[in-house]
Amino acid sequence: MHPKSKGAFYITTPIYYVNDVPHIGHAYTTIAADILTRFKRLEGYQAFFLTGTDEHGQKVEKAAQERGIDPKAHCDEMVKRFESLWQRFNISNNDFIRTTEVRHKKVVQKILQDLYDRGEIYQDSYEGWYCVPCERFWTEKDLIEGKCPDCLREVVEISEKNYFFRMSKYQSWLIEHIEKNDRFILPSSRRNEILGFLQRPLEDLCISRPKKRLRWGIEIPFDTDYVTYVWFDALINYVSGIGYGSGENSFSNLWPQAIHLIGKDILTTHTVYWPTMLNGIGLTPPKMVFAHGWWTVEGKKMSKSLQNVVEPNRLIDTYGVDAVRYFLMREVSFGMDGDFSHSAMVHRINSDLANDLGNLFSRALSMVIRYFDGNIPTPSSLKEIDQRLQEVSVKVLTQLPQQMNDLSFNKALTTLWEIVSASNKYVDETAPWSLAKEEKDQPRLSTVLYQTLESLRIIALLLAPFMPSTAEKMWSQLGMEGSLWEQNLEENVKWGGLKPGRRVAKPTPLFPRIDPTKIEKGI
RNA sequence: GGCGGUGUAGCUCAGUCGGUCAGAGCAUGCGGCUCAUAUCCGCAGUGUCCGGGGUUCAAAUCCCUGCACCGCCA
């Protein structure tokens, strides 16, 4: 733990289904989690970030079968697509959990056995209709014209013995928990939805699948004819991934601070199944479950049939990692649906990144090189206008932490950009190019450029969670020593951290402007 | 069908407790600067706050109602 740690933080993404092709939605959740984690670390928290893959279930079994290989071998291959994408996106996860790992299976089985021993799991027969592609049971009245209400494909009638978790008995406890904790489910519209859902009787949860139907899963420890239902298996990653049951302190430190970031499509599993499961094994629910929205593409829903699935690797190739990270966080407020379009992307890059931030950086460094031979000047006495610039940073710093706690990433970026705008305006109003013409104005010129560079240093620090490599680049070109990541927001954001006398680098454009017409053709 | 939500500038949206709340950004137009990636800065707009009714000294805000759209559940 960091010597000055303010405490623990535990941030997760869902574990992604290994058969999926990674798309913008996966990237979105993971980038958001990364940004929150990096921000918390800069604030001095010990923040642990877990992501991973969900590898069991019928679709994986079937895909492996079709390829004529072992399911595990299939997974080993598929999981690389996620791992390499996260590497490209500069994702700073502390661990990566796979549900096929021994450490995970052991925890799932331990939990199953524990619940079974205490009568929380019982056997019963189940009759219903089963949709093979969706791997879901439906009751008679769920069906739409005799077909799966989800995918409208044929269902088969099945009657079989299965194991059930007594989820229903936790219903009133769960309602009370949600009502007492208004930040447990966010945004609040999702909280309302779940409270509405819970007004109807909650049923027990079927947590087994007979091996005759599905072999690729975690074997039920007390009945080897069955494997575990994939959701029951998958949700447990959040505790198996930080050593539940190992007796280590890290688990008990981290778990109470858990924040799950999820897409709105998996709200029920995370806010109904999962908390009741946790209660069943004597653990508290996660501190927060935040459901974000979905991305449409050029106004249309993403789908394979429309062939408009946005491939994150291709986005990185076209726009660069940090620009994509920025766009996804800046364009829509977390929790709302958003639309991805190339014109919006190019627009954000050109106006926010190239014109506002990049150009500010460029003009500031250029003047230091031109007027001071690249040496950071020593400021002299401050005028009111210089003070006002400082005050903007102070104000931003008081607002950012709260906005980040609320996962209002777009607000945080808007707030941060107030320093960018104020700095551009400051340069304009102080007109250093005019000061440079008169020898007597040298002290004033020194102050003005120092103030501008110092604003940029603070911008770099606060921007780091969002755009890590851009921030590092700014940091080193500003002549700062040491790693940006060893900074602490409380101490190092204070005005005056920039060292006079150190040399700045010749600026290279942080974000080259993009010709919109080229993108239209190229994509 | 039940529950919840949304409707504000050309676009995307912010508007907390009813009282400088008619706002921001982008887009558009005009002007200024020349350090900078043709970038930056300033100024200027345009509004049936979805329609109708009500409460109030006062409503974008609260209540009723109609319409449209969205989400969850069925």
For residues A338-346, average pLDDT: 90
Nucleotide nearest to A354 (CA to C1'): B37
Cα–Cα distance list, A491 to A233, A322, A515 (Å)? 43, 26, 41
Question: Nearest residue to B3 (CA, C1')?
Answer: A196
Quote the DSSP letter at residue A154: B
Question: Nearest residue to B39 (CA, C1')?
Answer: A355
Q: Is A6 near strand B, with its CB below 7 A from some atom of it?
A: no
Q: Is A347 near strand B, with its CB below 7 A from some atom of it?
A: yes
ipTM, two decimals: 0.93
Q: Is A366 near strand B, with its CB below 7 A from some atom of it?
A: yes
* Residues A133-156 pLDDT 10s: 666 667 776 666 677 666 667 778
**DSSP string across A11-32:** EEEEEEETTSPP-HHHHHHHHH
To the nearest whole number, what is the mean pLDDT of chain A?
92
pLDDT of residue A246: 85
> Which of the four pLDDT bands, split at 50, 70 and 90, describes residue A15?
very high
> Which of the four pLDDT bands, split at 50, 70 and 90, describes residue A281?
very high
Tokens of A157: 């009638």
Q: Which nucleotides of B are covered by protein (CB under 7 A)?
A: 2-5, 13-14, 26-27, 32-37, 39-42, 71-74
- Can you say how many angstroms the Cα of residue A457 is from the centroid of all Cα atoms in its chain? 25
Which residues in chain A, range 466-495, keep a C-beta under 7 Å from any nucleic strand B atom? none
C1' (B5) to CA (A193) span, angstroms = 10
pLDDT of residue A1: 43
Calculate what percentage of chain A has a pLDDT beyond 70. 95
pLDDT of residue A156: 81
* Residues A37-63 pLDDT 10s: 999 999 999 999 999 999 999 899 999
Q: Which residues contact A487 (CB under 8 A, 6 or more apart)?
A: A42, A461
Which residues in chain A, range 168-227, keep a C-beta under 7 Å from any nucleic strand B atom? 189, 192-193, 196-197, 200
Q: Give the H or E element holding residue A246.
A: none
Strand order in the sheet with A295-297: A300-301, A295-297, A338-340
What is the rounded distance in angstroms from the CA atom of residue A345 to the CA atom of residue A331? 9
Is residue A362 pLDDT above 60, yes or no? yes
pLDDT of residue A515: 85
pLDDT of residue A151: 64
Q: Is A362 near strand B, with its CB below 7 A from some atom of it?
A: yes
Q: Is A257 near strand B, with its CB below 7 A from some atom of it?
A: no
pLDDT of residue A2: 47
For residues A66-74, average pLDDT: 95
What is the rounded distance in angstroms from the CA atom of residue A240 to the CA atom of residue A110? 10
Nucleotide nearest to A436 (CA to C1'): B35
pLDDT of residue A126: 80
What is the rounded distance in angstroms from the CA atom of residue A363 to the CA atom of residue A176? 57
C1' (B14) to CA (A409) span, angstroms = 15
Nucleotide nearest to A434 (CA to C1'): B35
Cα–Cα distance list, A517 to A176, A311, A343, A520, A521 (Å)? 55, 21, 9, 5, 7
Q: Which stretches within A320-408 are classed as H helix?
A: 321-331, 342-348, 359-372, 384-405
- Can you say how many angstroms the Cα of residue A166 is from the centroid of all Cα atoms in its chain? 32
What is the rounded distance in angstroms from the CA atom of residue A201 to the CA atom of residue A183? 24
pLDDT of residue A522: 46
